[in-house]
Chains A and B, each alone.
Chain A
């Protein structure tokens, strides 16, 4: 994919003010590009900053957060003037399926009226046209259009998740951010939803960022993956290159901790816990848990290195590799 990126995030930082006057550096310089039609996975443990990253891109962080860096849509920095520049694009260009969105529908309003709402708010369609579009949207995500006047409780969990996706698509966005869209679902329903997301990105030409803690889900759905740890992307690249040739020990150990159905390899947990983000991190944040840590890891922060075209990692192990084999 050599086309210009539709969305490009550069050096994004997010700090949260804590009650004691200290700050929590939740996102520490995240940069990535998203090309049209691309599906990218954002993977990591809970607390690694993946949800904060995409909420920052939507301009939806609470007032206790301060944001730095830029998020460009078609080359225009939508973060430049905060809410003023973000809000025209929110939902119309970038839409989001929130974590637990299937349980966030208003129980006393019909599904249809809740999907019409963003259309009328953003002025993309009103009245009869909006209701017609809502039916089409429901059909698109695999729900009969006749159920437009049903209430959320009349839908099963999988159907509510489909409706949440239809809601995100209400204003025909070009970028879809999906935050853990299958986490609370059964494996069979998960497969249905993932198939739907792949079909939508393919048929509508949507770009998607899939946020999840589940590496196999990303492996099966996404073209590219970014692995986050302690607020930064520690490895990013094409999915197959990340799986077959991980250049960061965290990625390798994360794969090792995920049982594969027919695999024989032992499943090993990663010892320890992620570092606290309200303190300055010295050296590599993963060093205390890393099985390959050596002398510089504890004191010197590793640099971001491109180990092969399109594949980058932040690890001292690559210092030697890159030095030996000039690209």
Chain B
């Protein structure tokens, strides 16, 4: 449990968003396929205090490693903030990060790959000191290396300091990797699956080592897929699913009193050691969906055994469930974990932020089916008329021969074509297109609004081109004018056309 007289959390992550672009390829770019993104981390908040071990638990692809990599600024985030030791490190430059890097150290999954096979143990552990220009003379550095080896449980250190990785067992290699982090005296250790590549018989030793470091006051963020390990060694567990934390709380509370259906299913499939303790595993069908196309509403609803109709639309936020035994236990489910805290959460289980966002949007958004389409259509008509009249007014000043009514008509058609291109077309990447597109999509909501997008886009593009040609031609050769016929005769008889 966290130490007394807490000076505030070591690491504070708030609403972290990390996305990776998906390559479209040349053909995709030419075909103007929309740019897709992997939504690896979508609004994750947690904190790690000094002397605390927090475990991020989840299946592969749930975003736990992306979270860790974003936290140590190996990957840039698209939103949210990361505070380390009271300082905001979200937008910090590489140079600014450098002194902080010795305070945040990472341990990787595979000690067979993370150690350089040509480096002796001494070189591996000494390297961080050289990189950070610490440790003074080579004698002093050797002293530090020996201390780090001792702290990592490789005793006597003299026996190990001159060995190569291939002369060490898996557990010993991982201890060397940990020693290389400890030599810098970090405040925070990020351990990504520190034992999953190791034999069962030595796992407990590595985890006990981390536990000892935690007791000395180090903050540890452990990434793992193994709930049993997390339950035994972590103070707090955060269960992730598809880029979100779906449940968090004190470790024992989460595994003994799970509230989210995903956590419940996950716990039910962990094999028990006792063969007579046959539990009924609640096996979810399928696998974690592709984080490129995140399901609407609650992202777990397509696989959820207790999903209700509302789960398709409501994206639940973390809140204290009624069934929780301790106040720090939070889960994000409107079915199994409804919460009482009205100050934070609205009646339908949405957070204050979500409710505020909804209040800013028209009420019709909450309508469904045809009403929603009708509302969308009404918005379209009003926008097209207003914008079209304005454009027509502007066009009236362009020299040419067309009458004002015709210009007004052209304005309306041109504007509506542009509007449909932007509002219903691909997600534009220029700022203007994006702003307009977002604004309009926000009015329509994110659901389907009934226009066949590609068709509308091409139609609008064709109309735009046609009208632009008409206006340019009119500018050069005025049409529908009293002088039209005369002009035509004049043009026809000019030398240019007599070739």
Contacts and interface: CB of A to CB of B under 8 A. Distances in A.
A254 B201 CA distance: 6
Nearest to A46: B199
A263 B269 contact: no
A45 B229 CA distance: 18
B227 A187 contact: yes
Contacts of B284: 188
A263 B281 CA distance: 18
Interface in B154-203: 169, 171, 199-203
B227 A261 contact: yes
B276 A240 contact: yes
B256 interface: yes
Contacts of B59: 186-189
Nearest to B227: A261
B271 A214 contact: yes
A295 B202 CA distance: 26
B208 interface: yes
Contacts of B271: 194, 214, 216-217, 219-220
Contacts of B60: 186
Nearest to B267: A261
A188 B283 contact: yes
By CB atoms of chain A within 10 A, which of B205, B207, B285 has the most? B205
A300 interface: no
Interface string A244-277: 1000000001110111111100011111010000
A270 B201 contact: yes
Contacts, number: 117
B201 A188 contact: no
A255 B201 CA distance: 9
By CB atoms of chain A within 10 A, which of B202, B228, B275 has the most? B275
A191 interface: yes
Contacts of B266: 187-188
Contact of B287 (A189, A254, A263, A273): A189
A243 B274 contact: yes
Interface residues of A, number: 41
B158 to A, nearest CB: 19
B273 A219 contact: yes
A2 B199 CA distance: 36
B379 to A, nearest CB: 41
Contacts of A253: 201
Interface string A213-244: 11111011000000000000000000110011
A214 B283 CA distance: 19
Given A156-B287, A214-B271, A258-B273, A220 B278 contact: yes
A294 to B, nearest CB: 21
By CB atoms of chain A within 10 A, which of B200, B269, B287 has the most? B200
A25 B426 CA distance: 65
B267 A219 contact: no
Contacts of A267: 203-204, 207-208, 232
B488 interface: no
A195 interface: yes
B272 interface: yes
B225 A186 contact: yes
24 contacts: A45-B199, A157-B287, A187-B227, A187-B266, A187-B269, A188-B266, A191-B269, A191-B283, A194-B271, A195-B281, A213-B200, A214-B200, A216-B272, A217-B271, A219-B272, A240-B275, A258-B228, A258-B273, A259-B229, A260-B273, A262-B231, A263-B232, A271-B205, A273-B169
Interface of A: 45-46, 156-158, 186-192, 194-195, 213-217, 219-220, 239-240, 243-244, 253-255, 257-263, 267-271, 273
